[in-house]
Amino acid sequence: MDAKTASLKVAKAVRAGIAAMLLPVFFLYILLDKPDYKIMNAMSGVVVPAARLVGNGITWPVRALGTLGRNISERANVRRENAELRMKLDALIAAQTECMALLGENQRLEQALDMVRLLPKKSVMARIVFENSAFSSHTFILDKGENSAVATGQAVISKNGYLAGVVTQTGVEYAHVRGVTDVGANTPVRVAGSDVLGFLRGRGNADPVFEMFSDQEFSPTNGIMLLTSSVGGNLPDGIPIGRIKDASSGKSATVEAGAKTMSDAVVLIYK
């Protein structure tokens, strides 16, 4: 479309607009000065639509502003509702987190209660006063000793019921313990729910290894629980130690020890 054609169309639109604005004036002139009902009836079909069109054009900004105001108000309401819903959601999440924390604490207490039920008639709760877990070592010292009937060879368990180590030396009011992950530890173990025996070899900071299976056809599987074995008479049977973590080699498997960093431990007095 060239400039001349465009200008003609604009001029035509302007003339139509002017005519539409003058028609209501002409209609009022006839109505007031020369009331001819035939002419009025004939023109009503043109004047009224033209007047409506002009009125719509004049009032469009007002209607547009009104629509914009309603949209702004609705958006503000939506934002307020979203903020309220977000607050409610945050409160629900906080409540859920608190419930999960309480559930975890309840499970921990149930485990502690089960451990107390399974303990021998005599046991000693002791505090760990020193721990050495550097490099290949994992040993610690307890604040209870011979005065509390603690003796060498006794099992030491964590508060969650897993074997933490074995007493290797005692004094009047202290005891040295070698942890199950210490490089010098070689603990006889049994696969839970079976008669398959083996040894758990400590590797210091690395995960201990379950090896030397009594059943050559046994294939270790991730997640299997290992328990202490009474073979050799050094430990009671059935104390949990940990679960197999990686059994990909087939001939041996790394184990995740159940006893973690502790501040207290329990010595089982079997002798």
Q: How many C-beta atoms lie closer than 10 Å to residue 228's C-beta? A: 23
Higher pLDDT, 69 or 248: 248
- CA–CA distance from 52 to each of 21, 39, 45, 152 (Å)? 10, 19, 11, 107
Q: Residue 253: pLDDT above 80?
A: yes
CA angle 202, 205, 207 (to 5 degrees): 55
Confidence of residue 165 (pLDDT cuts 50, 70, 90): very high
By the 10 Å C-beta count (0-12 exposed, 13-18 middle, 19+ buried), 187 is classed as buried
Tens-digit pLDDT profile for residues 63-121: 666 677 777 777 778 888 888 888 888 888 777 776 776 666 566 555 555 554 555 55
CA angle 109, 178, 239 (to 5 degrees): 40
- On whether the CB atoms of residues 176 and 170 are closer than 8 A, the answer is yes
Task: Name residue, tokens 């001349």.
Answer: 4
- On whether the CB atoms of residues 156 and 143 are closer than 8 A, the answer is no
Nearest to 204, CA basis, from 182, 185, 184, 186: 182
Tens-digit pLDDT profile for residues 169-207: 999 999 999 999 999 999 999 988 888 899 999 998 889
Q: Which residues contact 266 (CB under 8 A, 6 or more apart)?
A: 115, 119, 123, 124, 125, 126, 156, 157, 158, 159
Tens-digit pLDDT profile for residues 11-33: 665 565 555 555 555 555 555 55
Structure tokens at 30: 């006839």
Nearest to 209, CA basis, from 166, 154, 179, 252: 252
Per-residue pLDDT, 189: 92
Per-residue pLDDT, 89: 83
Confidence of residue 137 (pLDDT cuts 50, 70, 90): confident
